[in-house]
């Protein structure tokens, strides 16, 4: 035990190159799939050549430092970026093999199939009932009032909110607590019977108990839905997801099983990020 | 492998603190083993007594480091290599503590053997075995200190040589016991010391396995050496082939 200093391999973050994505970005029979995805905001490129498959009934977590492109990529998947005029998305993107950027694709219908839950709960200034019924009405999913009642009830049950609000369905959704509002938004997303649910930091505004409820809910939802979640909390990614994708400076650095990413990541940048090192 | 460079300086310090405590414990254990062997070979009762009383310090150290590991897990939720470090440390110190126990056993037998100032004609073989085992222990602690998986894998498999030496000693002791039944008690004690030395080598090798886990992220316990080398250390084999070709 004479030598006390470990052999330190000197490494500067700027020396670490990103040459394509390491790990397993592709799966058999993907639910959604992107190839050669570039995204530009005006002249500025936000995403560089992302290739990724999202499997059926999995929860895939997207992690990375602020500005790494994870939210931008999530918004590619249901064409939310269409609403930003200077934003240009290239590459091939499919849902069940269908081109989601094709000329025949109606983005409104796409967003019913690929729902989204945002960082800040954003219920409409309407009653709890109307919040959930909104999408079902819009897409004509119910032909009469009792069918609509069923949709609202079953969505609230799936979102784990029904017991808490069943006597207050006509009260405004904005009167609920933050965690309840977020579950209301999840119920609203579920009501139109989506196939994929995109979640952009769904719990960053919630306390740990409300967060745990949403995470538990996600675990139940994955039986029927495919979920992609962007999160700043690495522990959350570790808790809920089956696969984890690490983005860095607009590039997809690594995709692997979550177990592997958090015990033995392949890429140095992934390791630096999840262990809380500089980089 | 580096421990530092966390954004949280305090976290760096906590991990560094755990690591340096393990190194300190390793140093203590190594000294215990050396002293135990010395007391055995030179019939030094005083030294043997000292070894027997020092073991409690090692036990306390084990508990202290385990507590530190638990605290880091609870407060920092370490991931990747940090997580592997904490888990590996927690296992390494168990083996270190056992090595300390074996050293204590050797010291206890030495005390009794020292009365007659004899290792019953097996002095040379014991010296041989002791040197071999102490070297393995030293190298494996060194591999841990440097977090050097290449050195660790070289130490794996050295138990073959230990087993050969141990078998020789056993055979020799059987001969002595058959020749003179009055020597049985003493001979058995020598044999038990040899057994403890063999255990120390085994624990040292476990430490090497944790070093490989720590650096490579692969669990190589209960895996054949050939498999470990071909799968995780292919460059080693390349070097060997080159050497063979050159030779």
Q: How many domains does chain A have?
A: 1
With H, G, I as helix, E, B as strand and everything else as coil, classify residue A106: coil
Does A103 map to a domain?
yes
Average predicted confidence (pLDDT) for chain A: 90
* pLDDT (average), residues A3-18: 50
Q: How far is A75 from chain B (nearest CA, A)?
A: 29
**CA distances in angstroms from A165 to A133, A174, A177, B128, listed in the order given:** 15, 13, 11, 79
pLDDT for B239 equals 65
Length of chain A: 279
Q: Is residue A187 part of a domain?
A: no
State which residues of chain B have pLDDT below 70. 1, 118-119, 236-247
ipTM: 0.78
Whether residue A75 is contained in a domain is answered as yes
Q: Do A238 and B79 touch (CB under 8 A)?
A: yes
Q: Residue B86 in contact with residue B72, Cβ under 8 Å?
A: yes
Nearest beta carbon to residue A275 from set B81, B148, B218: B81
Give domain status of residue A232, yes or no: yes
Query: Which chain B residues are Cβ-neighbours of A234 within 8 angstroms?
Result: 79
**pLDDT value, residue A7:** 39
- Band of residue A4 on the pLDDT scale cut at 50, 70, 90: very low
How many Cβ atoms are within 10 Å of B94's Cβ, its own excluded? Answer: 16
**Which pLDDT value is given to residue A11?**
43
B146 touches chain A (CB under 8 A): yes
Fold assignment, B9-241: Methane Monooxygenase Hydroxylase; Chain G, domain 1 (1.20.58)
Domain of A223 in residue numbering reads as 20-117+192-274
With 90 as the cut, is the pLDDT of residue A19 above it?
no
Average pLDDT over residues A147-174: 93
**A257 band by pLDDT with thresholds 50, 70 and 90:** very high
Residue B247, pLDDT score: 47
Residue A206, pLDDT score: 84
Residue A101 · residue A79 · CB < 8 Å: yes
- Domain with A258 in it: what CATH number? 3.40.50.300
Segment 57-86 of chain B within 8 Å of chain A by CB = 77-84
pLDDT of residue A279: 60
Residue A14 pLDDT exceeds 60: no
CA distance A134 to A111: 14
Burial class of residue B52 (count of CB atoms within 10 Å of its CB; 0-12, 13-18, 19+): buried
Q: Which pLDDT value is given to residue A17?
A: 78
Q: Is residue A180 part of a domain?
A: no
Once rounded to an integer, what is the mean pLDDT over residues A142-160? 92
Per-residue pLDDT, averaged over A154-168, amounts to: 92
Residues in chain B within 8 Å Cβ distance of A235: 77
pLDDT computed for residue A10 by the predictor: 41
Nearest to A1 among B27, B79, B83 (CB): B27
* pLDDT mean over A139-162: 91
Amino acid A187: pLDDT: 93
User: What is the structure's pLDDT at B77?
Assistant: 93
């Amino acid at each position: 035990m004479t030598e006390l200093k470990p052999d330190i391999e000197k490494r500067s973050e700027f020396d670490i190159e990103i040459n394509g994505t390491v790990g397993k970005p592709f799966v058999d029979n993907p639910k959604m799939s992107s190839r050669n995805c570039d995204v530009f905001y005006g002249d500025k490129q936000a995403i560089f050549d992302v290739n990724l498959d999202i499997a059926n009934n999995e929860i895939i977590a997207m992690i990375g430092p602020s500005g790494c492109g994870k939210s931008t990529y999530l918004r590619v998947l249901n064409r939310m970026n269409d609403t930003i005029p200077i934003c240009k998305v290239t590459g091939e993107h499919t849902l069940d093999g269908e081109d989601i950027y094709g000329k025949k694709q109606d983005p409104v219908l796409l967003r019913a199939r690929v729902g989204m839950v945002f960082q800040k709960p954003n219920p409409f200034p309407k009653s709890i009932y109307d919040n959930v019924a909104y999408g079902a009405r819009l897409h004509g999913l119910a032909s009469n009032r009792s069918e609509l009642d069923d949709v609202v009830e079953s969505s609230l049950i799936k979102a784990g909110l029904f017991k808490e609000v069943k006597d207050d369905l006509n009260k405004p959704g904005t009167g609920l607590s933050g965690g309840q509002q977020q579950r209301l938004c999840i119920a609203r997303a579920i009501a139109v019977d989506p196939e994929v649910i995109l979640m952009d930091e769904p719990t960053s505004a919630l306390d740990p108990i409300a967060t745990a409820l949403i995470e538990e809910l996600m675990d139940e939802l994955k039986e029927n839905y495919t979920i992609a979640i962007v999160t700043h909390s690495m522990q959350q990614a570790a808790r809920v997801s089956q696969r984890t994708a690490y983005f860095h400076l607009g590039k997809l650095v690594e995709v692997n099983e979550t177990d592997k990413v958090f015990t033995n990541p392949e890429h140095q940048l992934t390791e630096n990020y999840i262990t809380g090192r500089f980089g | 492998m580096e421990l530092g460079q966390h954004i949280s300086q305090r976290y760096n310090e906590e991990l560094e603190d755990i690591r340096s405590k393990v190194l300190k414990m390793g140093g203590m254990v190594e000294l215990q083993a050396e002293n135990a062997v010395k007391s055995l070979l030179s019939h030094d009762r005083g030294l043997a007594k000292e070894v027997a009383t020092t073991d409690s310090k090692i036990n306390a150290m084990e508990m202290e480091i385990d507590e530190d590991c638990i605290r880091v897990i609870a407060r920092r939720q370490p991931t990747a290599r940090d997580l592997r470090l904490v888990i590996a440390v927690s296992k390494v110190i168990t083996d270190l503590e056992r090595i300390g126990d074996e050293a204590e056993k050797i010291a206890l037998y030495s005390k009794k053997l020292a009365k007659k100032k004899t290792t019953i004609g097996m002095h040379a073989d014991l010296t041989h075995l002791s040197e071999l085992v102490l070297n393995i222990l030293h190298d494996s602690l060194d591999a841990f200190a440097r977090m050097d998986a290449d050195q660790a894998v070289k130490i794996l498999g050295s138990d073959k040589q230990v087993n050969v030496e141990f078998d020789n000693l056993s055979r020799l002791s059987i001969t002595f016991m058959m020749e003179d039944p009055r020597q049985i008690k003493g001979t058995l004690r020598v044999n038990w010391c040899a057994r403890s030395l063999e255990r120390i080598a085994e624990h040292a090798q476990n430490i090497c396995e944790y070093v490989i886990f720590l650096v490579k992220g692969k669990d190589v316990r209960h895996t054949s050496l050939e498999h470990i080398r071909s799968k995780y250390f292919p460059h080693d084999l390349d070097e060997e082939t080159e050497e063979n070709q050159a030779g």
